[in-house]
Amino acid sequence: MKICNEKGYILASTLMISLVVTSLMFSIFLVVFLNNYVTQKKIGKKKVDLANMSGLQQMISNPDELSEGLTEFEIDSIEVLSNINLRGLFYEIEVFTTKNGDSSRCQYLIANNTNDHLNNAFTISRPDFRGVVAGKTGIKGNMQTTNDRITFGSIPGITGGNNNYLQGDLLTNEDIPQKLVNEETFTSVFNLKEIDNSQVINVNGPINLDRSYISELRSNVLNISGDLIVSDTLLTSASFEDLFVSVSGSVLFEESTVSKINLSIVSDGRAEINTGCKVENILLSTTDTIKINPNSQFFNCQLYSKKSILIDNCLFEYPSTIGLYVDCSEESNFRNTIDLQSTVVNGTIMLVSSVTGLSGNKSKILIDKGSRIQGFVYSENNLELYGPVYGSLYTYNVLYHKKPTDYINWLVDLEIDRKKLDENFLIPVCFNVSRDYEILDRKWIR
C-alpha cells in the first residue's frame, strides 16, 4: 500500500499561492503609489509654474512698484523670488518659485503696450506745423498734428496731392508732446550695468571672441582695453547664460559670424558687422558709428549709437530696436543719422535728441524707397521717409529731399498703414505714453 502526505502538499501549495497573491498585491500597491507620486509631482510642478506666471503678472500689473533688483513675496504659500534688470530698453525679469521640493524658473522679457498717440498712423509734433501733401501720399489711419494747416502742392516731376490721401481722421492738438521718451532710461544703454568688480576680467585687446575663447572664460564680465573681434558660430555657453563685454576700442563681427548667445557689448569705438552674419539676442551700444554690411539677419537685437547707424540690405526680425542719441551740446552731432538702405525692420526705430526743434540740427532717420518698416518709427528731430511703413510714425519734422532742396513737412509719396500693424506689437519701456507692460518673450529654464 502507498501512503501519500497530502497535508504537506497542500501547505506548500498554499504558501506558493499566498506568495503570488502577496507579490501581486504589493505590485498593485507600488504601481498605485508611484502613479499617485508622479501625479502629485506633476500637480506640484504645475502649481509652482502657475505661481511663477502669477508672480510675474502681479509685478507688471503694479508698474509704479516695478524697480530693478531682488524682490521676494508669496502666492498661495508658494515662495516667489524675482530679479529685475533693464536689458537695453526692455525689462528682463527672472522669476523663481519653489515649494516642497518643486521649483520653477522662467526668464521674461517685458515691453510696453502701444496706446494714446501711438494708435495714430502719423503724428507730427512741431508746434508751428504747416503741411503740404504731394504725389501719391496715402495714409490709412488717423493723422495727428498741432493744427489743420495742410495744403496741396507739387514739386517738379511730382504731381499735386489727392484729397483722399487720408483714410482716417485728422486730429488737431496744440499740446502734442515733442518728447515721449525718458531720456535717462534711453541713455542708460551706453553704460554697462553695475557689476561687482571682483567678477570682472580685465584683458588687453585685440580679443577674438570665438568658441574657444568663450569656453575658457571663468567669468561672464569682460573688460577689454583695445578692440573686440567676434567670429565663429556661437550657439551656447556651458558656463553662463549672459556675457557682458566693455570695449575701449572698436568692435568687428567677421563675415558670416553666427551668434545666438545673450551678448551685451558697450563700446567707445566704431562697430561694424560684416556681410552674411546671423545674430540673435545681442545688445550693442557705442558712442561711435555702427555700420552693418549687406545680407545680415538679426533677431531680438538692440543697436544704439551716439553718432550714426548705417544699415544696408539687412533683415531685422521682431523684436528689434535701433536707436540713435543726439547730444545737441556738440554741433558735430547735428548731422548724425540712422540710414536704412534696402532694409526690412520689424520693431522700433528711434532718434532721441537732447533738445527738440533746435535750429541747425539736421540729424534724422532716413528710410530709403527699398526699405520696409513694420512697427514704430519715432524721431525727436527729422524723418526722411521714402519706403512704406506698416505701423505708426511719430516725428517732429518730415523731410523730402530733391536736389538741391530740403522740403520741410512736405508729405510726398508717403505710404503709411496703421491697420497692418500686429495688435500684439510692443515697444520699449523708455516711452512715457503709458506703463502698461506685457510679456514680449519668455524662456523656461529647467
Cβ atoms < 10 Å from Cβ of 341: 17
What is the rounded CA–CA span in Å between residue 156 and residue 374?
Answer: 31
Tell me the Ramachandran region of residue 44: left when phi exceeds 0, alpha when psi lies from -120 to 50, beta otherwise. Answer: alpha
Rounded Cα gap, residues 187 and 19, in angstroms:
77
Gap between the Cα atoms of 404 and 16, Å rounded: 106
Backbone angles phi, psi at 128, to 5 degrees: -100, 40
257-315 residue pLDDT tens: 999 999 999 999 999 999 999 999 999 999 999 999 999 999 999 999 999 999 999 99
Q: Which three cell numbers stand for residue 7?
A: 497535508
Specify whether the CB–CB gap between 351 and 321 falls below 8 A.
Answer: no
Q: What is the 3-state secondary structure (H, E, C) of 334-393?
A: CCCEEEEECCEEEEEEEEEECCCCCCCCCCEEEECCCCEEEEEEEEEEEEEECCCEEEEE
Q: Which position has the grid cell 519701456?
A: 429
What's the grid cell of residue 293?
554690411
Residue of 222, 341, 329, 322 whose CA lies nearest to 282: 322
Fold (topology level) of 6-111: Pantoate--beta-alanine Ligase; Chain: A,domain 2 (3.30.1300)
> Cell numbers 518730415 correspond to what residue?
398
Rounded Cα distance between 236 and 305, Å, is: 27
C-alpha 360/C-alpha 398 separation (Å) is: 15
- Cell digits for 316? 531685422
- At 390-399, the pLDDT tens digits run 999 999 999 9
The vertex-418 CA angle with 291 and 154, nearest 5°, equals: 80
**CA distances to 34, 182, 349, 353 from 383, in Å:** 66, 20, 11, 13
Residue 158, C-alpha cell as written in the block: 511730382
Query: Residue 73 is which amino acid?
Result: F
Segment (H or E) for 438: strand 437-444
In tens digits, what is the pLDDT along the chain, a chain of 446 residues? 454 555 556 766 777 777 777 777 777 776 666 665 555 555 556 777 777 777 778 777 777 767 778 887 777 777 888 888 889 999 888 888 877 777 778 888 889 988 777 889 999 999 999 999 999 999 999 999 999 999 999 998 898 888 899 999 999 999 999 999 999 999 999 987 766 666 888 999 899 999 999 888 888 899 999 999 999 999 876 567 789 999 999 999 999 999 999 999 999 999 999 999 999 999 999 999 999 999 999 999 999 999 999 999 999 999 999 999 999 999 999 999 999 999 999 999 999 999 998 989 999 999 999 999 999 999 999 999 999 999 999 999 999 999 899 999 999 999 999 999 988 899 999 998 777 888 887 666 54
The CA–CA distances, whole Å, from 411 to 153, 329, 339, 387, 416 equal 10, 30, 19, 13, 11
Q: What is the pLDDT of residue 433?
A: 73
Tens-place pLDDT, residues 397-430: 999 999 899 999 999 999 999 999 988 899 999 9
**Three cell numbers, residue 239:** 558656463
Closest CA to 397 of 117, 128, 115: 128
Q: Which amino acid is at 347?
A: G
> So where are the chain's domains?
6-111, 116-425
Q: How many CB atoms lie within 10 A of CB 42?
A: 11
Go through 358-368 and write b for each residue having 16 or more CB atoms within 10 A of its CB, e for each that does not.
eeebebbbbbe
